[in-house]
Every structure is written in C-alpha cells, then in structure tokens.
Structure 1
Amino acid sequence: MLLIPLLRPLNIQGGGIHLVGDSSSGKSLAQLLAASVWSAPERFAGSWDVTPGGLEIDAASRNDTVLILDEIKRANAKRVQEMAYSLANGVGRSTMTRERESRARLTWRVLTLSSGERSLAEHAAIAGDTAHAGAELRMVDVDAGRRAFKAFDDTHGMDGATFHKRLGDRLHEHHGHLGRAFVQRLVQEGDHEGLKARRDAIRAEFPDHHPQAGRVADRFTAIALAVEVAIGWGLLPWQAGTGLASCRRLYGEWLASFGRMGAEDRQILTGLQDFLQVHGDSRMSDIRSAGIADVRNRAGYYEFVPGDSGETNRLALLHSKALAEAAPGFSLKRIVQALVEFDILRVAGDGRNMTKRYRLPAGGTGRFYVIDTERLQTAIEQAA
C-alpha cells in the first residue's frame, strides 16, 4: 500500500480494492499486512461497521496512507454504495455546529482496501438496492479466495497454517517502517516529472477497451508504479518487475469479469434479459393470438419472426413502464440508448420513432418497444 503518497503528486483520484473470498481465506491477513506498512496493524486497520459520518472521519485520519475496511457484511447495505462513492470522491458532507455555523468539510485522498465474503453489489442487493456502475468501478473486486493458496499466490514453501502464523508474528513485531522510509525517499527525490514518465510507460502495459476499464487500469498502474519505485530504491527485496507482473495479473482477472461493454450497458442488458426470463410467459402473450389471454399486470406481448440465425426468433413487445421496470435505476432514455447502440431495439420506418404500433387482440392499437431477444443474447455473450 505504498501507492497512496503518489496519489497527489501524480494527480490520481482515490478509489478502492475489494478482496472477495470465503471466510478463513486470508483476506484479513492481507489487510493487516497492508496496514503494517504504516503503523501497528491492530490499531491502524478499521471496519465497515461505522456510520457514514464516522467513515469520513476515518478516511480523513488516514489521508495519504491507506484505509482498511474489514468485512463488508457489517456495513449498512442500504448505504454501502453511497459510502464507496464518498471514499473515492474524497470530500465529506457539509455539516453545521450547534450555533448553526458551517463546519469545514473533511477532505482526504486514500486508497481503500476492503474485504468481504460478498461483493459490493451483492451486499447492496440485500437491501434491494440495484448495483451502481460508478460504485463498482470505485471499489473493484479482486478474487481473494480461489488463488493457489486462497488469498495468496505463494506461501514460499510453507504450509498454510505456518505461513499465516509466521506472517502474523512478524507484522506485529515490525510495522510502520516501510511507509515512512518511502515518504522520506519520495521527498528527497522530488522528481515528480520522472514519476509521471514511469507511470506512462507502465500504463501502456495495461490494455483497456472502454473508458471505464481505463479508470481501473489507472489504479492498478499506480499500484505497480509504487512497488517498482520501492524496489528500485532498495526498500523491498523483490526482483524488478514483480509489482508490474502482479498488478497486470489482477487487472487481467478483473477485466475478464468486467467484459467488453460499459458497466451501465451491461446492467441494462442483463437486467432486461432477467426480466424477460422471469416474466416472459406470465406477463406477456402472443400478440397474434385470436383469443384474449388472461394476463395480469401485463408487461406487453411477444411475436414470433424469423431470426438472424435462420431460427424462429421471439420479439418482446414491452410498454414503456415495463421496460423501465426491467432496468431499475436507469431512465427510459438511457435504456433505449443502450438498446439502440447494440442493435437490439427494432425501430419503425426511418428510425425516428423508437416504438412500433401494433393492432391488439382485443381491438385497438398500442405502441411498444420491440426487443430482439436473439440479438440481446448475442450482445451479452459477445461482451463476456
């Protein structure tokens, strides 16, 4: 966690890494190791079991170091995504004194190292809150349970229990040295332009195919830079390139799970697919049917047409309220934008009108958003 003193000189915003894995996988040990860079780990490490206001105080007190938050399941599920935003943005809320005078807002710039048995989005879902793409990008998940040795890639010839005990003993005996030495050397060198040049060279090693992936690549780039600088200064007894290789591997794992489309587009399309799978038969009926189907809380209709693959394709005809229901948290305009971008929405005529008019089985007409389910499936598969 040597990255943090580099955030300000390199003008890098804060953010977080969230270690996800089963209990007893070594996540907490990894966090204590990170805390030991700066201070006694048992005093320096924190917890998600805190109010939003308390979290701001903790973040400000760890300014330019690292904020350790253990066990996300202890966080308020309704507010955890809001708290992730706050940590990354680095600015607290405006508050007032008893005399109704404005207090100075707390500010900070930290990297958060979080842990839990579930991801940020999974924890928020417990409270019925849909995943916010911005929060997921500010606190990115790292697999810390299915590596070669659960949270670790190498135990250096020791069995897991011995490795865990030896590290635990050492970090309580020796802590707070590396962070101070790194800051002292950083001040002595004062070569911010040289650091920026090295950052740019390392950044080229992290491919990205989307601006959102680029933001996460910037974070792993900065972490790799800090490790490589510390190795070069003789503060870490590792081979040059160790930090870069490790960060590239972690970023590659995250990128594979993120997929090839933006987080918001992915949430919209997968939400729509889930909606159609759950409600496609119970809340929809064939618009070409001669009879009047008894459908409660109707979401729309469906129509069978030849598909792009030559097989029969089922089009979903959704009214606007149902389409908005399929992707909660997004405006109807944003949902339609995603469907048009991936050529999933079949539009009428010259494409100016996003809906098509159909004659209804019971008489009269209605306008619907026409979803090509075959193209929806293809878009999701290609983005994976």
Structure 2
Amino acid sequence: MAGRTMNAATIAPLVPDAEAPAIERPCYRVYEHAITLEGIKLRPGVWHHSQNLDKSTGEYLPFDEWLCGPLHVEAVTRNEGQDGDYGRLLRLRNADHRELIWAMPNELLAGKPDTILSVLLSMGLDVDYQRRAKICQYIAAQYPKDRVIAATSTGWHTQSLFIMPRQNIGKGKAIFQSDAANVDDFRRGGTLEGWQANIGALCEGNPLLLLSVCASLAGPLLYHVQRQGGGFHIVGDSSTGKSSAILAGASVWGHGEDFKRTWRATGNGLEGIASQRNDTLLALDEIGEADPREIGAVVYAMANGTGKARASRNGSARAAKRWRVMLFSSGELGLSALMAEGGKRSRAGQEIRLMDIPARRTYGAWDSLHGMGGGREFSDAIQRASVTHYGHAGPEFIRKLLEDGNQDQLPTLLATLCNLYPTTNGQESRAAERFALVALAGELAIGFGILPLPTGAVRNAMLELFEVWRAGRGQGPSEDRQILRAVADFIARHGDTRFSSADDPQGEARDRAGYWEDNPSGRLYLFNRPGLEDAAKGYDLGRVVLALDSVGAVAKKDTGKQQALKRLPDGTRQRLYFIDPAKLEPES
C-alpha cells in the first residue's frame, strides 16, 4: 500500500459486541453469540448470573458463571392425555455448530445429573466440567409456555402420523421422546433408486429374499390390520446366504449392519430394541447365540409385544414396554432344536410365532443369481448394497400408504389373500395369515413403485413358501406331533428297562412305566398313569391322550374311559393305557 494515505474513511469500523439487556440477579440466560454485560465480554452459551457476598465490604457483587454451550428449553412435552410422559424439549448447538434437539423425559431429573449429562455430552455440547451439575438445575428451572405432544415409541402415533426418531411422516404434531438422543438406527444412505437396482430388482425369482424385504415392509401394516407381531426364522447351514437375507430386510429401514441385531442379548435387552423398532422390523441374526433355556420365553415376548412387568423404586408397577414388530431371524438350528439343547420342549404357540423356513434352495438361500457367478457372489452383492443404499424403502412405503388413503381397506385385502391359502386347522390358518400379510405388503410396494417387480410376484412366492413350511411341519396340530414323538422316543429309550411282560408282572423293570404284551398286530405298551405323564412331560395328561387317540394309537379302552382294565396273573387289576407304537409316526 506504499504511496497511499490511510484515513478514517477507508478503515472498516469494528462491530462491537451486542449489549445484554439489564438483568435481575439471580437468573439464567442463554446467549447465541458473544455479548457484553455490564462491561464484561461473555462467550456464547448458558450463563448463571448471581451475586456473591464480599465479606470485607459486606456488599453483594455480581458473579457470572458459564455452564455450557447454547442450550434452550423450548417447550414442555407430554402425552395427549396430559397425564403423563412429561418432559422438556431441548435445543442445543454442539461443538460443530450444529443445531440438535432432544425430547428429554422429566423422570431423568429425579436421578443423578450424570444420566442427562452423558446424553448432552454425546451430542457434542460443550460443558464446564466443574459446573456440570448446575446444567440440570438450569433445565429444571425452566418453564416454557409452549406444549408439544410426546411420542414414547416409534411407529404409528395416529392413523395418519408415523413417528421416527428424526422425522415424522404424515399429518400431526408430535416428537419422539426417549432417555437417549442417539438411538436413531433409522438412518439413510445412498438413494432409493440405488436400493431398487441393487436389492429390490434382485428379489425377482428369490422367494427368501422377497420374504425378508416384504416382511420388513409388513411391519407398518400390523397397526392397520390390528394383529400382533410374529415372524420367520430362516434355517440352514453356514454360508448359505441367510445373513445376507437378514441384511436385505434391515436395509429397508436403516443401515444393514447397524439395524440388524444378533440373538446374543438378554430378554431385557431385546425388549428395549423391539420398542425402538415398533411398527417396523426386528432383524436378529444367529439364533445359536441365544440362551436355549430362555429362547422360548423371548419368542413369546417379541411376538406378543409386551415386556416384563417391573416394579419401580417405591414398589408400584412400572409401565411395561409395548411394541408391534415383524420378526425376521436366522440360524443353523431351528427353534425346537435349539430349545431341546437347553432341555426345553417347544410349544405350538412358539413355533407359529416364529416359523422355521428352510434355506435349501438352488444356490443356498437363492434360486436366481441374476447373472452372477455363484451364491457367494450374490450374497456379497446383497451385503454391499445393504450398507450403501439403505433407509429409503420403508419411509417411502409409509408415505405412499398415507397418500393412497385406503388404510381402512387393508383388513379386507388381507382376508382376501388369506383365502388363497389351503389350511386344515387353526395353527395353519394363523401361519397363512402371516404369509398373506407379507404378500399384501409386497404387492402394495409393487403398486407404489417401490419394488420393481411384476404384479403377483410376491403373492406367488409367499404361497410357495407357505407350502414349504407346511410340508416341513407335517400335518395336524403341532402339539399332537410333539406328543406322538415324545411317547415314541420314550418307548424307544425305555421299552426294555421300564416295562416288563404283562404275563410276568414281577419281572424286572426299573422305575416301572407299565407293561407290554404281544398281539397279532404287534407289541402294545400298557402305560400306567405316571409312566405316560413322564413320557410326555410338560403336557396335560388329557391332552396327551387326545393326541394319541387322534391317530388311533389308543388300541383298547373301556366304554367311557381312555384306559382299559387289565387283570394281571397275580390277580391284581389295573387301569392302563394301551398304546400301539406303530401308530405314533404321523403321516407325512
């Protein structure tokens, strides 16, 4: 700038810091930008303005404390009934100058400050460590006039509003309220078009991949058809593509790997995850990592949508967690086989709530490789796509469902699809309804332009998988088959040690379960009551006899009885159950 004279007119004047309005101490103030108060420059954030006594003069002197970065208490949150779920809607600016919000439950104020501070620190709020406890005091001291409806779970809040941690879909005002602000697994990456090309299009000709993706889309329909959850368990050898199918379903709502969970969790932990997945998908990989002794109870809880009842600190009952989810699982063992490892017997209700589907297709879990070299390459492509393009299909399905405006017709559409499934008993009907629900979601997604497949593709695939499930399960109620198998196994194990000939009632028999006798059609086993109860542990004796009689295994009985009176050579008379083991194998 040589040869040039600088004067006042060519110098840009400095903009002074804003002056803070007068305050009445003590009070809290939040400053978004640097400000000058009573001649002192203050940094942005939450300040506590108070007074300290000067012991030497006896005067009260101003005292200003910086607590944290900008943190506003915007509104009071509460449920629609205005009788619970109260909280504070917090808005903060973090260390990277991003605006974030957190609907914080008021009940956290009843505990230690660490609970709240850990969340705020994880969100990136700058905090004065020495004064961190005063941040909770500041929050508790704020009473904003604005009110916001709090939603304590994801999913449908009303018939026209779907709540997600960081977005709402539909009409209505509410905000997701949670103990933590970073529980959002419903993240997005890539594009919907990328997902359609790399996962959606590959579903064609692959029933198990369709099952995974459409079961994920079926989660939001549970609310409208008023059904509980339940799901499918893909069973097959290692490295067949089961986990890839799980990732494909998870990618409908979020990052494939992050949205997926494993069975290696306690029942309480899975309750928390299920409540965060309400009205969507609970994807669980590797059932072999679950505790065989607990898995049955966990399946009931996940499908029924109700957590354990727990007591609060004062002994009163706390509100149990609730959810509706479609469950999609995988493992090398089926549910009944895993429970048997823990000495448990699976119940029909458990088997219907989580149905075993074999992963024995043409190429592991797949039927069509879409030009790829093999099943491994196809699985790898699905895995890559699930972490590249994700989190778009599910929310888009919700938007299209709301735009369509025919939610009231969904129960009728479901009933129509159910009529396509051949069933012979109530258990098969319940299973058919779940396959039909998946088919309904898939066909809607095709109509909405989300799944790039021809109309009818999902409906036909689900009918095929239902027949696969039905053939693997066998005919008749599940309890009957389990009872028949248990009695047959008991005879195979103990026929020579716990029974003796009815012609020699004094013959050796350890812990006698009854006798045997030969007749022209083969050997019959004459069970005493304790013996038959032992053979089918866990089932009511009347239910056991009903199952045996349904296949003609009760070879002889007196009028009005399920037993027959047997006179033994020593003159004693006993009522025994005459069981023909040849009838215990159910027809395939």
Is there any run of 5+ residues in structure 2 with no aligned partner, and where? 1-215
> Per the alignment, in what secondary structure is the counterpart of residue 8 of structure 1?
helix
1:342 aligns to 2:551 (yes or no):
yes
In structure 1, what is the equivalent of residue 297 of structure 2?
A: 82
Poorly superposed stretches of 4+, deviation over 4 Å: none
> Per the alignment, in what secondary structure is the counterpart of residue 524 of structure 2?
strand
> Displacement of 1:29 after TM fit?
0.8
Selected match of 2:361 from 127, 131, 147: 147
Deviations 1:210-257 (A, max 9, x none): 110110000000001100111011111111111011111111100011
Selected match of 1:326 from 532, 535, 539: 535
Is there any run of 5+ residues in structure 1 with no aligned partner, and where? 307-311
1:283 aligns to 2:493 (yes or no):
no
- Partners of 1:61 and 1:34 in 2: how far apart? 16
In structure 2, what is the equivalent of residue 295 of structure 1?
A: 509
- Partners of 1:348 and 1:57 in 2: how far apart? 53
1:11 aligns to 2:11 (yes or no):
no
Selected match of 2:519 from 305, 316, 322: 305
> Per the alignment, in what secondary structure is the counterpart of residue 370 of structure 1?
strand
In structure 1, what is the equivalent of residue 575 of structure 2?
A: 367
Question: Do the aligned partners of residues 164 and 341 (structure 1) sit closer, same or farther apart at CA in structure 2, a change above 3 Å counting?
Answer: closer
- Partners of 1:263 and 1:165 in 2: how far apart? 37
In structure 2, what is the equivalent of residue 309 of structure 1?
A: none
> Per the alignment, in what secondary structure is the counterpart of residue 7 of structure 1?
helix
- Partners of 1:150 and 1:340 in 2: how far apart? 40
Is the radius of gyration larger for structure 1 or structure 2? 2
The aligned runs of 1:1-384 (5 Å cut-off) are: 1-144=216-359, 146-159=360-373, 160-289=375-504, 292-306=506-520, 312-350=521-559, 352-377=560-585, 380=586, 382=587, 384=588
> Per the alignment, in what secondary structure is the counterpart of residue 220 of structure 2?
helix
Q: Is the 8 A contact 1:316 1:371 kept in 2?
A: yes
> Displacement of 1:142 after TM fit?
0.7
Q: Is the 8 A contact 1:18 1:139 kept in 2?
A: yes
- Partners of 1:32 and 1:340 in 2: how far apart? 46
- Partners of 2:558 and 2:314 in 1: how far apart? 64
Q: Is the 8 A contact 2:224 2:408 kept in 1?
A: no
Question: Do the aligned partners of residues 163 and 338 (structure 1) sit closer, same or farther apart at CA in structure 2, a change above 3 Å counting?
Answer: closer
Segment of structure 1 superposing worse, 85-94 or 334-343: 334-343
Normalised by the length of structure 1, the TM-score is: 0.93
Query: Partner letter of residue 344 of structure 2?
Result: D
Q: Is the 8 A contact 2:254 2:391 kept in 1?
A: yes
| Structure (1/2) with the larger strand percentage | 2
- Partners of 1:346 and 1:274 in 2: how far apart? 18
> Displacement of 1:358 after TM fit?
1.8
> Per the alignment, in what secondary structure is the counterpart of residue 357 of structure 2?
strand
Q: Is the 8 A contact 1:210 1:260 kept in 2?
A: no
Q: Is the 8 A contact 1:68 1:114 kept in 2?
A: yes
Segment of structure 1 superposing worse, 86-95 or 190-199: 190-199
> Displacement of 1:200 after TM fit?
2.3
Query: Partner letter of residue 91 of structure 1?
Result: T
| Structure (1/2) with the larger helix percentage | 1
- Partners of 1:43 and 1:206 in 2: how far apart? 35
- Partners of 1:330 and 1:165 in 2: how far apart? 45
Segment of structure 1 superposing worse, 217-226 or 194-203: 194-203
Deviations 1:175-201 (A, max 9, x none): 011001000111122212333332222
Query: Partner letter of residue 575 of structure 2?
Result: R
Query: Partner letter of residue 382 of structure 2?
Result: L
> Displacement of 1:331 after TM fit?
1.2
Normalised by the length of structure 2, the TM-score is: 0.61
Q: Is the 8 A contact 1:14 1:111 kept in 2?
A: yes
> Displacement of 1:363 after TM fit?
4.4
- Partners of 1:96 and 1:282 in 2: how far apart? 50
Question: Do the aligned partners of residues 268 and 2 (structure 1) sit closer, same or farther apart at CA in structure 2, a change above 3 Å counting?
Answer: same
Query: Partner letter of residue 301 of structure 1?
Result: Y
> Displacement of 1:362 after TM fit?
4.3
- Partners of 1:223 and 1:90 in 2: how far apart? 18
Q: Is the 8 A contact 1:292 1:361 kept in 2?
A: no
Query: Partner letter of residue 366 of structure 1?
Result: Q
Q: Is the 8 A contact 2:557 2:578 kept in 1?
A: no
- Partners of 1:349 and 1:321 in 2: how far apart? 19
Percent of counterpart pairs with the same letter?
Answer: 39
